[in-house]
Amino acid sequence: MRIARVFPTRTSMSPTDEDAYFGPPQMFMPNYDEVHVSCVFTWDVPKAKELKYQWEQVCKVVKLGGPAFDDAGGEFVPGIYLKPGVTITSRGCSNKCKFCFINGTKILTSVGVKNIEDINIGDMVLDKNGNFNKVVNTIKRHYAGDGIMFTTGFDNTPIYVTADHKFPTRTGDISIKDSREKLLQIAPIIMKTDRLPIANYIKSKGFIRNPIDSAELFGIRLEYFCELAGWYLAEGSISKSNKRPNSFCLVFSLSHKEIEDVNRIKYLIKEIFGIDARIVTRASTITVEVVNKQLGLLFMSLFGKGAGGKYISCDILQLKEKFIKKLICSYFRGDGSLVKLKEKTGRFRIVSSSASYSLSLSIALLLRSLGYNAIVRSRKVKDTYINSRLVRPNYLAYQVMVIKIEDVQELAMFFWGKDIPYKRKSGFSYNQKLEMVSSINLSKHKKIEDRSKENGVPFQTYYKWKKQIDNNYINEKGINETVVRNISKINLNCDVFNLTVEDSHTYTVSGISTNNCFVPPREGKIRELEIKPGYIVQDNNLLACSQGHIEKVFAMLKKQKEPANFSGGFEAARVNDLVVEQLRGLRIHQIWLAYDRPNAEAPLLKAMEKLKPYFRREQLRCYVLIGFEQDTLENAEYRLRRAWEAGTLPFAMLYEPKVHTQEWYLLQRRWTRPAITKFINTPKKTVEEERWW
């Protein structure tokens, strides 16, 4: 069988024989039984698909695969998809990384919060960009080692995580144990849609008929529906009808003082669904009731049921701002209150309380996405009685609070039409404080007792303001952030869990964005392959293999005519004295390490302390990833210089497929060509030479 191999991009590792192609089919070429289009990089996927279509015109069997399509690959055959001399002796992930959470960790999904151990493949979870993406893999393993427990200023729910788990921040990925900048990102919610596809819920739940006369809600009808949804989340419930066992009764319970709101709810039901709701007066409440199976199932699908089981589905969360404001307004009118803190200060806060953590978290994230500094707090509530009757035993309540006075004033007027007078002691608003704190360099005044002033304000006051801002912070790019609190080290000896999420590879834990594990579904668990001769080792995780396998690979390399080139890279944290001793027994062309993120600096320095005494700079290469999200030119050049100072010859890898400015390409050029890299790092250059490079 003759096979043509087609590649979207030519690289230094690509094969060069007559059956290897790097574009569409040629006019005069042999007949092939099969064509294999192999794609390595995800940004080449569109080109690879186009090549597949073009080659299908000349060959019946055309297969599309490669690492970009999460293809784990089969047995490695030298010279087929990589040039002669390249060998791969292992594939996969050891699945022993310390990036996991314990059971009970709260993950925000498209149907509310779930414990991490209950997440299944196919579930949709909120990522750091505010989108809901699919879970493509779940990881469970036993872990015994160091752990971290912490809370945040946004949510005081404890988070238990293995010590080295990484969280995305403005400056790159960090672990809590060694984080200097204790500001984590609060997941945003992208409000982008203006239609609610009711028909999708009807079809998925097997409804008998549509409760409305169209397949989707939009416009004023959708505004009414969101307003009614807020009332349901605050005061609504669903129960089986006594008169009609196969139907559901949708009930809104309010107090006798809220007769205006009762009439409003009845009006909304009539306008949206064309149903006349009935008003029932009871001893302690007034209820608005609708007996309708389709209506009950619709609200259960979108918002759940029961005091502790309510949530907001992703289709509602992602509606446009004007619809979300309607929902939040009616929710706080039904379940919120304006609380005066102290008689003397005259300060107020807005508080809502719910037995559903999922609902409280969603409301707080929506408020944050609208620009209001909301926080979530849990507290134990004693037994609740009505007319000497126990209606709810001891339970945990979750409160959503808005504390910042500017937000309280605006929302109080929006929710209840109340004007909250407040005179600031300092005379500065929150935004003014934020601007003033950002404009000065507090690091010059390390002593809190410093009595000097800036702009007429003592530095002691600046420190106080900075602490307040860090607790509830929206930075200059509009990214919601929160401070880390109550960090404590713990010992873990239990099952731990992680997820793999498509696209952004992030998900949300108690409102905080976190990274996932993305290697296992693509590569599978680590497996040791048959060792084929070659001198360019492309294993991306060789040092994670068994010691016996590593020794066999080194024995094979000793027999090769060419010096060994470990271009697949070593994990710096796994470089130990035994590995160094084995490397000294080989003729080495290049050893590659990686410095992708700021947190990779410490392992790189430790590895270089062991390698530098025995190998030259030209032999010790280092991949340095630059230009990733939230990276800056200054930070990228700092990492490149640190890699140089450590004793390596850095190689700048520009993050793709992000579009970069010309400055990024110039930086990459200076740090990918060894002659230029050595020149700019050599002392005693003239001003003209420095300018030229």
Query: Do residues 585 and 647 share a domain?
Result: yes
Q: Token digits for 553?
A: 């690979």
478 burial via Cβ count (<10 Å: 0-12, 13-18, 19+): exposed
Query: Do residues 248 and 369 share a domain?
Result: yes
Alpha carbons within 13 A on the beta-carbon side of 54: 17
Query: Do residues 180 and 202 share a domain?
Result: no
Domain membership of residue 557 (yes or no) is no
Q: Token digits for 586?
A: 């080989």
Looking at every residue in the chain, the average pLDDT score rounds to 81
CATH number, domain containing residue 162: 2.170.16.10
Domain membership of residue 180 (yes or no) is yes
- State which residues form the domain around 359: 195-401
Instruction: Give alpha helix (H) positions in 543-686.
Output: 547-558, 577-584, 601-611, 633-645, 662-670, 674-680
Tally the domains of the chain.
5
pLDDT in tens, 372-421: 888 898 888 776 665 566 656 667 889 999 888 788 888 888 888 888 77
Burial 551-570 (b: 16+ CB within 10 A, else e): eebbebbeebeeebbbbbbb
pLDDT in tens, 88-141: 888 766 555 556 888 889 999 988 999 999 999 889 999 888 889 888 888 888
Residue 279 clears pLDDT 50, i.e. is over it: yes
Query: Do residues 240 and 273 share a domain?
Result: yes
Q: Token digits for 62?
A: 């055309």
Strand arrangement, sheet containing 564-566: 86-87, 536-537, 564-566, 588-595, 620-626, 649-654
How far is Cα 37 from Cα 691, in angstroms, rounded to an integer? 45
Query: Do residues 168 and 134 share a domain?
Result: yes
Domain membership of residue 552 (yes or no) is no
Domain membership of residue 55 (yes or no) is yes
Query: Do residues 466 and 484 share a domain?
Result: no
Domain membership of residue 94 (yes or no) is no
Give Cα 319 to chain centroid, integer Å: 20
Query: Do residues 237 and 167 share a domain?
Result: no
Query: Do residues 202 and 283 share a domain?
Result: yes
Last residue of a domain, one of 345, 366, 401: 401
How far is Cα 24 from Cα 320, in angstroms, rounded to an integer? 44
**Nearest-CA neighbor of 155 among 365, 456, 351?**
365
How far is Cα 486 from Cα 457, in angstroms, rounded to an integer? 30
Domain membership of residue 175 (yes or no) is yes
Domain membership of residue 150 (yes or no) is yes
Last residue of a domain, one of 401, 432, 458: 401
Cis peptide, bond prior to residue 657, ω within 30 of zero: yes
Query: Do residues 288 and 368 share a domain?
Result: yes
Question: What global pTM score does this model have?
Answer: 0.67
For residues 523 and 474, which has the higher predicted lDDT (pLDDT)?
523
For residues 422 and 624, which has the higher predicted lDDT (pLDDT)?
624
Instruction: Give alpha helix (H) positions in 258-292.
Output: 259-273
Contact 21, 28 (CB under 8 A): no
Last residue of a domain, one of 487, 517, 547: 517
Query: Do residues 457 and 489 share a domain?
Result: no
Query: Do residues 455 and 512 share a domain?
Result: no
CATH number, domain containing residue 390: 3.10.28.10
Query: Do residues 253 and 359 share a domain?
Result: yes
DSSP per residue over 440-466, as a string? S-GGG---TT---EETTEEHHHHHHHH
How far is Cα 105 from Cα 159, in angstroms, rounded to an integer? 7
Q: 630: Cβ–Cβ under 8 A, 6 or more apart, which residues? A: 169, 170, 171, 172
Specify the pLDDT at position 520.
47
Residue 686 clears pLDDT 90, i.e. is over it: no
Q: What is the mean pLDDT of residues 136-154?
A: 84
Domain membership of residue 66 (yes or no) is yes
pLDDT-based confidence at 684, cuts 50/70/90? low
Alpha carbons within 13 A on the beta-carbon side of 197: 9
How far is Cα 255 from Cα 528, in angstroms, rounded to an integer? 69
**Ranges 299-313, 316-330, 397-411, 469-483: which has the least confidence:** 469-483
How far is Cα 639 from Cα 506, in angstroms, rounded to an integer? 24
